[in-house]
Each structure stands twice: as C-alpha cells, then as structure tokens.
Structure 1
Amino acid sequence: MEYWKFSQLIINWYHQHGRNNLPWQIKKTPYNIWVSEIMLQQTQVKTVIPYFKRFISKLHNIHILASTSLDEILHLWSGLGYYKRAINLHKTSKIIVKQYNGKIPDNIIELIKLPGIGRTTAGAILSLSKDFSFPILDGNVKRILIRFYNILKNSRNKIDTNKLWYLINMITPLHHASKFNQGMMDLGSLICRYKTPKCKICPLYINCQYIKNMSQKNIINNKKIKKEKQYFYIIVQYKYFIFLECRKNKKIWKNLFCFPEFKNEENMNNWLLINNIDSINNQKINLIYHKLSHLILKMHIFKISIQNNKIFSKNKNYIWYNLNNPQRIGISKPIKTILLTL
C-alpha cells in the first residue's frame, strides 16, 4: 500500500471514530499537550484523565508549575506511578521559564534537549498543538506498524526501531499531521489492541500482514517474566502521626515519602535497636504484592507504636505524617493505601 493511502485511511477513520473530547484536546495548548503526553507515557488514557484534570486545575500554566514545590507536584502525581516523569516535568518547567521566557520551544531540536522529552513526546507536542508535521512512535503506533508490515525481531530478539522510525516518517502526512497522529494513537488503543485486536473493523484490515501471518501474535505477546524483590517496611506510629522518610537516594519512588525500608528483617530489627525502639513489640500486619513496570515488590509490612517521637531528631529527611491533617507530599500508591487504613 502506498504511504499516502495509509495515512488517508487513518485520517478518514479518525473523523468518524477518533477521540476528540479528551480533556487535553478541549484546549490544545503546547502546555496542556506536554503535560498530558508525559502522563500518558506507559499509562492508559482512562487512568490519566482524573490526574490530568486535577493537575491542570492547580497548575494551569508553566509559570505556576515552575514555582511550585516538588513535594506538591509529587502529591498531585501520587498513585499515577513512574514518578521520574513528574520530576522531569518540574525540571523542564524551570528551564523553559528561565531560558525561553515561559514559552515551550517550537523547534524540535531544542525541545528534545529538555528533561523527559524524547523524539516521540516532542513530535506529539508540536503536531497535536500546532499541527506541525512531526511523527510520533509511541507503543500504540509501534504495534500498528509491526503488525501491518509484519516486522519480525532481529537476531538479538529486538524490533528494529530505526525501521519503525523510517516507516512512520514516510507515512506521516505533511498536512493534517495532528489528526493522523491522534488517529494512530486512537486506533492502537481502541482497535489494534495489545490483546484481542478488533481486526475486522480496522481501516487497515485488507492489507494488514497480521491477518495473513497469525504467528506474529506470538512475537507481540511475548512478555518478559518480571523479577520479584522483597523488602521489609516498618510503620512507626506516635499517637496519630506516622514516621515517613523521603527516598532521596532510591531508584524506586525517588523523592517520595515512605515507611523505613529494609532488605531483610534483621536489618529492620537492627535499625529499631539503634534508635532505642523495643523491637519485641513490632507486629507484622500485612504482606503486599505491588507490580511495577520491571518487577514485583513483595512488601512485608510491620507496625510498632512508640511513646516518644524525639528519637529521630538526627534524621533530616523525614516528617511525622499527620493522619488527621495529611501533608501535601508525594506518596506511592501502596503506601497511600496503607496510610488510609491506619
């Protein structure tokens, strides 16, 4: 199929079936598209919508975002996951305010240099907000191209990304790139789904190699088995306050607040001993399995009550979280869930 026919089929389908009432589409500013695209990285639209609405209602322009504390931003992001996205969003807002007078660059080379903005995100910002002819290559678009052109994995068991970029560059039209890009994302999300694709109502059905080569299903659905890691957490409670540490130097949930974390129960008991806390009274209250993108956390949760909250005065990266009047800080979803039960 000629490239122009491919793009025209997508644009025609978008006019009839595409999504055009998403919150960030109502007011297509570069800022709104940027925030939405960062949130949508590895996250479904239905999950993002309430977070986007809450985020924009509080931080409705880049100047407010840049002047807001990271704790407040992480608080608004809490539960959405992949918290590095929020940290990069904050970093980039400061750079744009300082170096570009608060205007998001419309030069793709300058845009890609900013933290958290890669080639796909930059293309999405410029095409969806300004209708510039730049391609995007997110997970939905990749899946369509892989299936339609029957692209197989190479000797290293990987898909050739350069080939995908070549194809999407050729297919992306000079005019109406915004409709084409949105149509590709919508088609991948609604029709060419990861599981149970709705092939018979797809506009690309007749020429799609996926239909002719059903073995491709085995390639696309070949998921890696996630590793499992276990950690031990101690809930230290003083009256209606909970001791939380800021995870400054952690890879998982960096800069979020969490219960003290340990690799094993022995380390946890040693920590209690060093801080003059009676480890005999600690009680295991739960075992939680929490799925992340690359591993599964096996979380052993212990709890202990103390009578004196002065014992951690030497630790600067902590707060006493007020259960009755919670502080606005970043907290991961499983920790937030536990706090709500206390």
Structure 2
Amino acid sequence: MLPEPTPALAQLPAYVFAALDELKAAARARGQSFVDLGIGSPDQPTPAPVVDALQRAAADPSLHGYPPFRGAPRFLAAVAAFMADRFGATVDAGREVVAVSGSKEGIAQLLAAYCGPGDVALVPAVHYPVYLRAPLLNGAAVHLLPTPAPSFLPDLDGIPAAVLARAKVLVVNYPNNPTGAVADRAFLARAVAFARRHGLLLVSDLAYSELTFDGYAAPSVFEVEGARDVAVELHSCSKTFNMAGLRIGFAVGNAAALAALLAYRTNVGYGTPSVAQLAGAAALADYRALARPIAREYQARRDAAYGALAEAGWAATPPRAAMYAWLPVPPGV
C-alpha cells in the first residue's frame, strides 16, 4: 500500500481546469457537442515567423543539450530589448531576467522560493489559481484581499497588523485574469510603496500586457520609480503570440529575488528548452507586428460577445484587456 501524499496536496481541491478537461473528454466520448468557455487557451496558430524560428532551432544540433539555467543569451537579450522598447525600462539581461517555462511555472516557483511555513502571501480574492495554490503547497498561509467591483483592485488598507507581520509577498495581476480589469500607474505606484513600507516582494503578473483593446496600453510595474527594489514581473508568450504549447515566458526585476528564483529552479529542473526560447526571441523581436493582429481578433470576439449579451438584456461593460468575460450572474443561476 502506498503512503499518502502530503497533507498540503491532499487538502487542495482538484484543479478546476484539469477537472473540466475530464468532463469535456467524457462528453466527447458520448458524442456530445458543446461550446467550450473554459480555460483561456488560444485557438489560432502561432505566427509563421515564430514557427520558422522554432523549426530552425529544432534543426540546430547545438541546441539539443540542456539549456542554460538562466536562459539562452539570445532570449535574455530579446527580453531586455522588449522591456526597453515597450515600457522604457532598462533591464540587465545578465542579472535581471530569467527564462521560465510559462509564467504560471515562474510564479509558482517564485512564491515557493519565498513562502514557507509561518509565512503569508497576500493574494487578491479574485485570482488566477496558482497565486493561492503555490503558497499552500509550500506550507504557507494565504490572506485574501477584497477586490470590490467595479475596479477589482485589491484593498491594501484593511490588512490586519498580525497578517502583515507574517507577510512575505504581495501578488497583483493587471490586466486581470479572470475579471479583465486593468490598473493604472498610480495603483502600481501604491503597490510599490506598500511593498517597500512593509518589506514585501511585489509579484506582478503581466501575462496580458499586449492583449489590450480600444487603444489601451497596459503599464509595467517598472514604469514606477523604485520598483526594481521590491518587484519581480512575470510575462508570457502564451496568449500574446498564441504560443501556449511552447511554454515560454520570463521573469524580470529585482536581481536578488531572481537569484532566489533561479536557485529554486536549478534544484528542481534544467531550465526552459532552448528551442522554445529562440522562438520566443523571434516573437519578442517583432512583437508589435505579431501581437496586434492577435489582439484585434480577440477584440472582435469581445465585441461580438458583449453585443449579444446587450441584445439579451445582460448589462455588462466590455473589458479593455485579456480574454475573459466576468459577468453578473442572474438570480437563481
């Protein structure tokens, strides 16, 4: 008889998207058809220039070995160039960037590197599941911050002193999954000041920086003075470039925090595949031309969905970013 898994793992409910995958597979096996409104997985192809770069990299024998732990130099340089061009942020590619196998993995590992038994992670009440699950799996506690409508920004003023005394990290995510809410530089400045005041690591998940609509441009926390003293920001190629299957993203920011992330990663794995990194470098090098058509497609879908909702009498404000519809549920549903 096998031993039981850890209590932390056993006490977590099933991951919702894994459970939905099983339900969908069972429905398909019964011959049922349905409209899948579950996980936000891109259904369009990866841009051709990125696929070309991936194929060239896969054919290069020098890339068939283990990848560099921090990341391929070409990818790290592409990240630094992207941050400078898109956000006006100067980033040291050798100290302030780490390649990750998707931003979800990077967030989980960063939170695990900082949150253990006795520690607290400050997490918005409406959140992407990994923000809650990674600290809990590592034996830490999570304090949920109210995120009242319509802004869905976390309330930083009502945190009990006893919680703050144990807090290690504050997680923010704008543009937001799942609400589609956005945050301005003023909020990011407040979050930076709050993290500095209370000795916290600020973890900013910016996976949807380029999936924006109506002329809106999402800010980076590194547009705020002093952010690199307290913050790490996670970016993803998954939604921006329809590259979810390649598992490529990056963490940028505070060098000491990234050293902790890298130390964690080197103890549990061998880095992100070089072929995925070179595909990511090609995407970032031409991010404006490649990302905007994808964002326009999502904007068209948003407009169609919210137009249909309006016709049905379902009052809702279209989001300015991301791929989600966060809607008031009619009574009785």
Q: TM class by shorter-chain length?
A: under 0.3
Instruction: Tell which structure's C-alpha radius of gyration is larger.
Output: 1
Structure number with higher relative contact order (C-alpha < 8 Å, ≥ 6 residues apart)? 2
- What TM-score do the two structures reach when normalised by structure 1? 0.26
- What TM-score do the two structures reach when normalised by structure 2? 0.26
